[in-house]
Chains A and B, each alone.
Chain A
Amino acid sequence: MRLTTLAALGLAAAALGPAADPPSAAPAPHKRTEERLEVPPPPFTEGLFPCTTCHEGMPVNRTRRVLKDMHDDIVLKHDEEHRWCLDCHDATNRDRLHLASGAPVSFEESYLLCGQCHGEKLRDWRAGVHGRRTGSWNGPKRYLLCAHCHNPHQPRFRALAPKPAPLPPSRAAR
């Protein structure tokens, strides 16, 4: 058994060998965008996560309704005509989200969920063009998740108070 695994590995290495040589003609475009991105932990509301602490064992009610007992502070302003909680949050595993296909997605990879509709934003974000990016221009970079800047329930970028205006030029006292 082990021998066959080794042989398979050897074959794989042999197959990869020539491909690993850098082809001078056509380098792979935007290779680094395929890497798994380093992101800080998602911005959970204090004391709410993991969701299973409360939801474990609760019966699942899939009826669309206005929440009254809990989470009533959440106002959905994100295509609320067509969607509600369980379109993104998973009913079977409460600590996860799910894609339109039903495939589960962790909160750390929630950008995959957002990217289903906002594909061009996801593409720009991977390239480092959409969203804030800190760190080093020629080294490791730190990304933020969509949810760090956009509240997923009300994604419009929040208005900020501007810093003071510059002083107009003043004439020297005569």
Chain B
Amino acid sequence: MTTPEKPKVSRRLFAASGASAAAWVLTACGPRRLHEVPRDRLRVAIREMERKYSQQAGKEVKVSDAGALPGVEFAYALDISRCIGCRRCVYACVEENNQSRNPQLHWIKVLSMEKEKGVDFSHADPYYHPATVPEEGHFYVPVACQQCKNPPCTKVCPTGATWTEPDGIVVIDYDWCIGCRYCMAACPYGARHFNWAEPVLPADAVNTDTHYLGNRPRPKGVVEKCTFCIQRTRAGKYPACVDVCPAGARKFGNLLDKDSEIRYIIEHKRVLVLKEELNTVPRFFYFYAT
């Protein structure tokens, strides 16, 4: 007869449990990404932001923490046959989203392409400047964040500072971004932009209607990009670029609403996405109405 041995804690088990306990303590007690913190702590953080931005701008800046609306997945459609390349959207976006004026930072890039060559990025020109647009023999493809369903940018972020919200908007937590720019390398559309220098935003130009995941003023050394105007669209408004487009080429809506404009376009028009072969599955569609 053998007496049962008293179970011993092996060295390996001890080390592993010790490490996991330490990890638990660190994750539970350490700083969290803003979308993970409890609502009341987020409110405190947001009040702190409001105080700071209001002081900088010399007027009251509001920071919204509006969450995704249930049953909503945003999508965008742009009519290539209507866009005249006037760049009104570029500057409406800059003003709405508090982009740096110096150094200049644009979330929307309008590419001029030749009709003979079709949608061809190797011959695209973003610096066109004729007296009037549209130019003979040219068409225009504005490019901003495509809000991919399979986003390469969020996968490479080492700190988890960028992710997809439930309504499909890919957002950035500027407090967690360490400025490594891996996401910029991963994005096939050149839609992410880096603040190489301290952004200059004149106080009178500040848009005071902001969102903590969107257009709140950014510091130097973080990446930023289009958020479908999260501060507007979560409040039911159209993005600023849709509102300003004089040609009515920009369309926006809820992909899950069968009566929305966006569904009408997808069901009735010739639709394409950029760089489809990369399987990024954009929520930004280009179409030809005619």
Partners in one complex: yes
Name A's B-contacting residues (CB within 8 A).
30-32, 124, 127-139, 144, 149, 157, 159-168
Chain B residue at minimal CB-CB distance from A167: B104
B87 contacts which chain A residues (CB < 8 A)? 162-165
Q: Is the CB of A124 within 8 A of B289?
A: yes
Interface centre among A30, A129, A139, A159 (most CB of B within 10 A): A129
Q: Is the CB of B265 within 8 A of A134?
A: no
Question: CA separation between A7 and B246, bound complex, in Å?
Answer: 53
Q: How many A-B residue pairs have CB under 8 A?
A: 99
Selected contact of B238 from candidates A130, A137, A160, A162, CB within 8 Å: A137
New A-B pairs, 15, CB < 8 Å, besides A128-B261, A131-B248: A30-B259, A30-B264, A124-B289, A128-B264, A132-B246, A132-B247, A134-B243, A135-B238, A138-B72, A144-B248, A160-B133, A161-B133, A162-B86, A163-B91, A166-B90
State which of B38-46, B124-132, B203-211 sits at the interface with chain A.
B124-132
Name B's A-contacting residues (CB within 8 A).
69, 72, 79, 84-88, 90-91, 104, 106, 109, 126-134, 233, 236-238, 242-243, 245-248, 251-254, 257, 259-261, 264-265, 268-269, 289
A159 contacts which chain B residues (CB < 8 A)? 84, 132-134
Selected contact of A132 from candidates B133, B134, B245, CB within 8 Å: B245
Q: Is the CB of A166 within 8 A of B109?
A: yes
10 A–B contacts, CB within 8 A, in A order: A30-B259, A30-B264, A129-B79, A133-B242, A138-B254, A161-B86, A162-B128, A162-B133, A165-B129, A167-B104
A164 contacts which chain B residues (CB < 8 A)? 87, 129
Shortest CB-to-CB span from B288 to chain A, Å, is: 11
Shortest CB-to-CB span from A90 to chain B, Å, is: 29
Chain B binding surface SS class: loop
Q: Is the CB of A165 within 8 A of B127?
A: yes
Interface centre among A136, A138, A168 (most CB of B within 10 A): A138
Q: Is the CB of B129 within 8 A of A162?
A: yes
A168 contacts which chain B residues (CB < 8 A)? 127
A128 contacts which chain B residues (CB < 8 A)? 251, 261, 264
Chain A residue at minimal CB-CB distance from B265: A129
Chain B residue at minimal CB-CB distance from A30: B259
Say whether, besides A136-B236, A162-B85, A162-B87, A130 and B264 are in contact (CB < 8 Å): no
Selected contact of B86 from candidates A135, A138, A149, A163, CB within 8 Å: A163
Shortest CB-to-CB span from A141 to chain B, Å, is: 9
Shortest CB-to-CB span from A166 to chain B, Å, is: 5
Q: Is the CB of A161 within 8 A of B132?
A: yes
